[in-house]
């Protein structure tokens, strides 16, 4: 299934884009597929539709995956 | 959405007075406000300015969840969480949290909880500028 | 007197923004501000307004001692204590304390220490007005 | 020795004055002497020259004693 993957922080900076499209069935698949575009450290977390989600989370049509680098707000 | 929770992400300067007003309630005797500000050095390095960026819609969603958890856990009557994004100068506030409670112990504990959870959970990133370049803070 | 301690007693409204400004320091990442406000009821009784009075010179002396103790105990860089006197309406702030520290845990703990000690030590008295009369709070 | 005793809070209200003059050698003497003018509960503390002081504190010429009802600031 084709899935939109949003990039943030240094991931977006290094990829030179804020969004890519990958083939994936789970959230973890999407992260792995994004590695063809950008190096992704293990500290990066995954969100699906604006909520943190585990790698094994099955994706449904229209889901948006976001790759969340270590946060530094506050 | 809840009348006793106000959350925002803005490019404009934050105000502790706005936070206080947002959480003031006639039955609350104590309001605790925390402001996190841009320091002139971090990990031994002199900082000239910083830039925050956020995944705004998700961050606001996290703020609301954080607010709801703290309100329940500490019996808070009202909660405020604001984070700034964009370029900030030294001394400016990057985050302001506030909690109001009938009693002060809960106001302090609740406000502390807010800032700890915001720092841990909110999808917000920080670039520090030094003399010659910049770094992404917490980049693993 | 100390440039990193500001204490005052005033008949005019208190401001958390003034407190924040007074303690902001370039090396401090965290500022905690507490505002105590007039509640609409106390011990089950509806309150219409209150009046604070102080032995001002002694109270200011106490504030300075409280500030010095908290600065030392928590390594605070700057401290603010303000108390209002005269007639106050519901919702108005009677006291504002603030503490600034490089790190937030100390800012919270220091600010809490300030308000606890102010409540315990400062020679300040409170009259609560109800429908039909008034009482001195804590009158033994 | 003649000593000035300042009254605050409900003590001043009930005495109808903010200051009295008594004969006393210690802070405790001054409090006892003030009882001829006003009823003073045990919860009232003593200050000498703007600092809390114990009853046994010996007074010196010019010292000012203050009677401090239970505080209620904050």
Closest CA to C96 of C32, C15, C21: C15
- Beta bridge partners, A23, equal A2
Residue carrying the six token digits 């030392």: C72
Question: H or E stretch including C23?
Answer: helix C16-23
Express as a percent the part of chain B with pLDDT over 90: 82
pLDDT value of residue B20: 97
Q: How close A17 gets to chain B, by Cα (Å)?
A: 15
Q: How far apart are CA D13 and CA C134, in angstroms?
A: 12
**Burial of residue C20 (number of CB atoms within 10 Å: 0-12, 13-18, 19+):** buried
Q: How close C62 gets to chain B, by Cα (Å)?
A: 21
D43 interfaces chain C, CB cutoff of 8 Å:
yes
Instruction: Please state, rounded to an integer, the average pLDDT across all residues of chain B.
Output: 95
pTM of the model: 0.95
pLDDT value of residue C1: 56
pLDDT at residue C72 greater than cutoff 80: yes
3-state secondary structure of B105: helix
pLDDT value of residue B131: 81
The chains found to touch A (3+ Cβ pairs under 8 angstroms) are B
Token duo for residue B49: 């300015």
Compute the C-alpha angle B54/B7/B65, nearest 5°. 85
Q: Answer positive or negative: Cα dihedral of C65, C66, C71, C77.
A: negative
Which chain C residue shows the shortest CA-CA distance from B119?
C104
- Beta bridge partners, C8, equal C82
| Residues C30-34, mean pLDDT to the nearest whole number | 98
Residues of C in Cβ contact (< 8 Å) with D66: 55, 58, 123
Q: How far apart are CA D48 and CA D63, in angstroms?
A: 7
Residues of C in Cβ contact (< 8 Å) with D6: 55
Look at C118 and D74 and tell me if their CB atoms are within 8 Å: yes
Q: How far apart are CA B63 and CA C21, in angstroms?
A: 26
**Count of alpha carbons within 13 Å of B28, Cβ hemisphere only?**
26
pLDDT value of residue C45: 82
pLDDT at residue C43 greater than cutoff 80: no
Task: Select the residue from B20, B46, B92, B110 to test the C interface by mutation, using most C Cβ atoms within 10 A.
Answer: B20
**Angstrom distances, CA of residue D57 to CA of A7, B95, D27, D66:** 72, 51, 5, 13
Of all residues in chain C, what percent are helix, strand and coil, respectively (each to 5)?
30, 40, 30
Q: Is C106 left (phi over 0), alpha (psi -120 to 50) or beta?
A: alpha
Model confidence over B20-55: pLDDT tens digits? 999 999 899 999 999 999 988 877 888 899 999 999
Find the distance separating the first CA and the last CA of chain B, reported in whole Å.
34
Q: How many residues does chain D have?
A: 74
Look at C137 and D72 and tell me if their CB atoms are within 8 Å: yes
Find the distance separating the first CA and the last CA of chain D, reported in whole Å.
37
**Interface contacts (A, B; CB < 8 Å):** 77
Q: How far apart are CA B46 and CA C84, in angstroms?
A: 40
């Amino acid at each position: 299934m084709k899935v939109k993957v949003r990039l943030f922080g240094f991931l977006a900076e290094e990829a030179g884009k804020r969004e890519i499209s990958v083939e994936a069935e789970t959230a973890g698949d999407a992260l792995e597929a994004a590695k063809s575009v950008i190096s992704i450290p293990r500290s990066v977390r995954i969100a699906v539709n604006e909520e943190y989600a585990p790698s094994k989370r099955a994706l449904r049509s229209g889901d948006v995956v976001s790759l969340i680098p270590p946060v530094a707000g506050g | 959405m809840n009348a006793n929770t106000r959350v925002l992400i803005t490019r404009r300067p934050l105000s502790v007075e706005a936070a206080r007003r947002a959480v003031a309630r006639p039955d609350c005797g104590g309001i605790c406000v925390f402001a996190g500000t841009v320091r002139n050095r971090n990990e031994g390095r002199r900082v000239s300015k910083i830039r925050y960026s956020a995944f705004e819609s998700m961050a606001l969603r996290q703020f609301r969840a954080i607010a709801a958890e703290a309100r329940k856990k500490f019996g808070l009557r009202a909660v405020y969480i604001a984070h700034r994004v964009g370029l900030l100068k030294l001394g400016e506030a990057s985050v302001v949290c506030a909690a109001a409670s009938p009693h002060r112990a809960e106001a302090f504990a609740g406000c502390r909880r807010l800032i700890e959870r915001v720092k841990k959970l909110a999808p917000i990133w920080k670039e520090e500028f030094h003399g010659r370049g910049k770094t992404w803070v917490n980049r693993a």
